[in-house]
Amino acid sequence: MQKIEETLDKFFPSPSCELKFNSNFELLVAVVLSAQCTDKRVNEVTEKLFKKWNTPEDFANLSPQQLEKEIYSLGFYHNKAKNIINASRDIVERFDGNVPDNLEELCTLAGVGRKTASVIMSVAFGKPAFAVDTHVFRVANRLGIGGKDVLECETNLKKKFKEEEWAKRHLQMVLFGRHHCKARNPNCENCPLKNRCNSKN
C-alpha cells in the first residue's frame, strides 16, 4: 500500500472535487448531472443554471420541461430532470429544505445512489465515506485492492486506507483514473505502479 499511497500523493498532492458548487444542494445537483458526463461539461451548464435557480425550493417548483431545456446537452436529461425535481421536493417536504447529512437518508432521495451519497458525505460534509465510481473501481481492481462489485471494493478500500484519508484517496483515485490509468490506453510505460499491477500493458 505504501507505494500506492506515495504514487497518489506524488501525482495529485492536493486533490479537489472538479465540480463547481456554492452549497451542499448545488453539489447534489451537480453530482446527479455528472452521470455519464464530464465535470467540465457539467460546470459549463451549472454556471448558468445556478444563476437562474439554486435552492431546493426553486427546483421543487420547476416543471420537467423547464429543467430539461437547461440540461439537455448533458445526456440522460429526461431522467436527470425528473430525479432532481423529485429529490428537491423530498428535501423541502421531508428534510426542511436541508440536504441530509447521512448516507441512509441521502440514498432515499430520487437519483441518489450510494456513490452520489458518498461524494456528498465526504465533499460537502467532510464525513468519512469512500465513493466508488467507475474510475476508482477500475484503478482499484487493476492494483489488486478492489473487489468483485462496487460494495466489496468500497469495503476493501476502507480497510486499506486510513479513515481520515478516505476523501483524499477517493479524489486521487478518480484523478489517477481520468488522467493516467485510463480505461483505454493507460499510461503504463510511465507508471510507478506497473510492478504491482494486474493489467499493465
Residues that bind ligand SF4 (CB under 6 A): 142-143, 180-181, 186-188, 191, 193-194, 197, 199-200
Nearer to ligand SF4, 142 or 170 (CB): 142
Q: Which of 133, 160, 168, 182 is catalytic?
A: 133
Q: Which of 39, 80, 90, 115 is catalytic?
A: 115
Nearer to ligand SF4, 155 or 199 (CB): 199
Closest distance to ligand SF4 from the beta carbon of 58 (Å): 42
Nearer to ligand SF4, 43 or 141 (CB): 141
Residue 133: active-site member = yes
Residue 9: active-site member = no
Which DSSP category does 65 fall into?
H
Closest distance to ligand SF4 from the beta carbon of 123 (Å): 24
C-alpha span between 135 and 141 (Å, rounded): 10
Which DSSP category does 18 fall into?
S
Nearer to ligand SF4, 11 or 125 (CB): 11
Backbone angles phi, psi at 180, to 5 degrees: -130, -60
For residue 161, what is its C-alpha cell? 486506507
C-alpha span between 149 and 31 (Å, rounded): 21
Q: Are the C-beta atoms of 117 and 154 separated by less than 8 Å?
A: no
Q: Are the C-beta atoms of 177 and 171 separated by less than 8 Å?
A: no
Closest distance to ligand SF4 from the beta carbon of 59 (Å): 39
C-alpha span between 169 and 166 (Å, rounded): 5
C-alpha span between 169 and 192 (Å, rounded): 17
148 contact partners, CB below 8 Å, separation of at least 6:
none
- Annotated catalytic residues are 115, 133
